[in-house]
Each structure stands twice: as structure tokens, then as C-alpha cells.
């Protein structure tokens, strides 16, 4: 079971996908309203260094998901 910490309450909560058997991640780009700094690069570098996100289809097989 995947659990997260609720940042509002501090409680641990179970992850429940919106659609049974599917989960996705949305990762937006750096903010464009301020002067760039190394903190903005962190999110981009994290995914670039980790490589493609692993994914599992309904049969349990892993597949690659590209991010842009």
C-alpha cells in the first residue's frame, strides 16, 4: 500500500487512485515569472537523472513512459 503524508494535517493517508488500476503523475515546468535559480532546475534534473518513469499495465508488465 502506498501512503503519503497529508501536508495540511500531518496524517499518513492511503493512496487511492481516481480511476481504479491507474495512476499518473503531473509535473509542471519551472516558473517563468521570476529570475531562474538552481532550485528551479531541481525538478527537471530529478527526472532526467532517474530516467524514464516505470509503469505497470493491467497485466502487471512494466512499460516505459516518456516525459517532456
Whether residue 3 lies inside any domain: the answer is: no
- What is the domain count for the chain? 1
Domain that holds residue 45: 23-30+38-68
C-alpha cell at 56: 505497470
Whether residue 11 lies inside any domain: the answer is: no
Whether residue 59 lies inside any domain: the answer is: yes
What pLDDT is recorded for position 58? 57
Contact assessment for residue 27 and residue 43, using Cβ atoms and an 8 Å cutoff: yes
Whether residue 12 lies inside any domain: the answer is: no
β pairing state of 3-5 and 12-14: antiparallel
Q: Is the per-residue pLDDT at 7 higher than 80? A: yes
Whether residue 46 lies inside any domain: the answer is: yes
pTM exceeding the 0.75 threshold for the entire prediction:
no
Whether residue 53 lies inside any domain: the answer is: yes
On the CB side of 1, CA atoms within 13 Å amount to 7
Whether residue 8 lies inside any domain: the answer is: no
Whether residue 14 lies inside any domain: the answer is: no
Percent of the chain's residues with pLDDT above 90 = 9
Amino acid at each position: 500500500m502506498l501512503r503519503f503524508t497529508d501536508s495540511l494535517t500531518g496524517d499518513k493517508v492511503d493512496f487511492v487512485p481516481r480511476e481504479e488500476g491507474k495512476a499518473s503523475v503531473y509535473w509542471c515546468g519551472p516558473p517563468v515569472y521570476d529570475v531562474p535559480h538552481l532550485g528551479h532546475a531541481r525538478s527537471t534534473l530529478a527526472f532526467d537523472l532517474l530516467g524514464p518513469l516505470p509503469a505497470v499495465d493491467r497485466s502487471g508488465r512494466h512499460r516505459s513512459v516518456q516525459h517532456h
